[in-house]
Structure 1
Amino acid sequence: MRTLSLLKGLPVYVKSTGEKIGTVFDLCLAEQGRVEGLILRKGALIKKSFLIPFEEVSSFGADGVMIEETTILQPLQETYQFFEGKERLVGKPLVSSTGESLGILADVYFQEELGTIVGYECSDGFFADITEGKRVVKTDEPPTIGKDAIIVNIQP
């Protein structure tokens, strides 16, 4: 299991050449709560973003992400949902299917092998995070991502 906060900013390397082609900038999410891919940011002055489809990632390391070749990079589409992008999910209220407020979404946990989101890290505010820590909500069902909130079925 890995969180986006651990992945964000890691370099992306081409396995066959050892070339660093950019850094992980965000996650691209499908409507079913699945990780569609990683958003790669490349370029020094003029930055361009591309999608690395999740199934095209060779490996996730502690210090970098490996892909086989640059031909797998895809241009971004307006229909994609991003964790921290324009239509961001981070910062939205997380609510259980029974109507209980779980906090504000701060991070997601996903399985690297499958690309599925298995947990959500919630914040109850700065002081609560310091005294109690952030809460992790585990789920095995896709969330309902709405305009104002994210609805999840929580595991008992």
Structure 2
Amino acid sequence: MLKVSDIIGYKIICSDNKKFKGEVKDAVLDFNDCRLAGIIIDYGSILHQSRVINFNSIYEISRNKVIIRFRKNIQQMKIIDFNDNYVKKNEKILGIEVVGEEENLLGFIQDVIFEEKSGNILGFVLTNGIYDDVFNGVEILPINGPIKFENRKIIISRKAKKNILRNVGGLKKLLELEH
């Protein structure tokens, strides 16, 4: 299990020639299938270009690197139609409101947790601001189904709301002010 922010900056290595081909810049999320559709990389030596690698073309994600089988798996950005179902994590998802069905604010998306072998989105790290995060800790919203994304908000059901893991970390817990 990894967060998308963990893999930003990872090197891209092609297993067919063992050469460095760029580094991870962003992730493409597919809200219909609730998974990472691919990763966006900074590609090239002198003139950097943004390219994309389909998640199915990734052989392995290991410590500080993403290994792909062939150089041909690095494709131009125009192959992905960015819309409400395919979004770039850094541009479209960070800071998005997460609300319950009754429109009450639960937090804002800080990061995306995914399973590195399948690319399935496992959950979101929610924030309520840096001071609240430091004192109370962050919240984790587990995902187990399609994500309802409309009007620049993610709407979750009452059942999903009950599954939120609250106060992960934080000074309050560290100092044992909360039992």
Q: Secondary structure at the match of 1:65?
A: strand
Q: Going by fraction, where is helix more abundant, 1 or 2?
A: 2
Instruction: Assess if the C-alpha contact under 8 Å between 1:34 and 1:142 holds in 2.
Output: no
Letter in 2 for 1:63: N
TM-score by length of structure 2 reads 0.79
Comparing 6-15 with 68-77, which one deviates more in the overlay? 68-77
Comparing 70-79 with 56-65, which one deviates more in the overlay? 70-79
CA pair 24-63 structure 1, distance change in 2 beyond 3 A = same
Letter in 1 for 2:71: T
Identity level (%): 22
Instruction: Assess if the C-alpha contact under 8 Å between 2:60 and 2:117 holds in 1.
Output: no
| Structure 2: distance between partners of 1:42 and 1:147 | 33
In the alignment, which residue of structure 2 is the partner of 1:49?
50
| Structure 2: distance between partners of 1:148 and 1:28 | 16
Q: Secondary structure at the match of 1:113?
A: coil
In the alignment, which residue of structure 1 is the partner of 2:172?
none
Give the RMSD, CA atoms, in angstroms: 1.7
| Structure 2: distance between partners of 1:124 and 1:45 | 40
CA displacement, residues 104-140 of structure 1 (integer Å, 9 cap, x when unaligned): 1000001122211110001100100110111111120
TM-superposed deviation, 1:26: 0.7
Find runs of 4+ consecutive structure 1 residues off by over 4 angstroms.
none
CA pair 117-97 structure 1, distance change in 2 beyond 3 A = farther
Structure 1 portions without partners, runs of 5+: none
TM-superposed deviation, 1:141: 1.1
In the alignment, which residue of structure 2 is the partner of 1:40?
41
TM-superposed deviation, 1:15: 1.1
Structure 1 residues 21-32: aligned runs within 5 Å: 21-32=21-32
Structure 2 portions without partners, runs of 5+: 164-179
Structure 1 residues 28-107: aligned runs within 5 Å: 28-32=28-32, 33-77=34-78, 79-80=81-82, 81-85=87-91, 88-107=92-111
What number of residue pairs does the alignment pair up?
Answer: 154
- Confirm whether residue 144 of structure 1 aligns to residue 148 of structure 2: yes
Larger Rg, first or second structure (1 or 2): 2
In the alignment, which residue of structure 2 is the partner of 1:113?
117
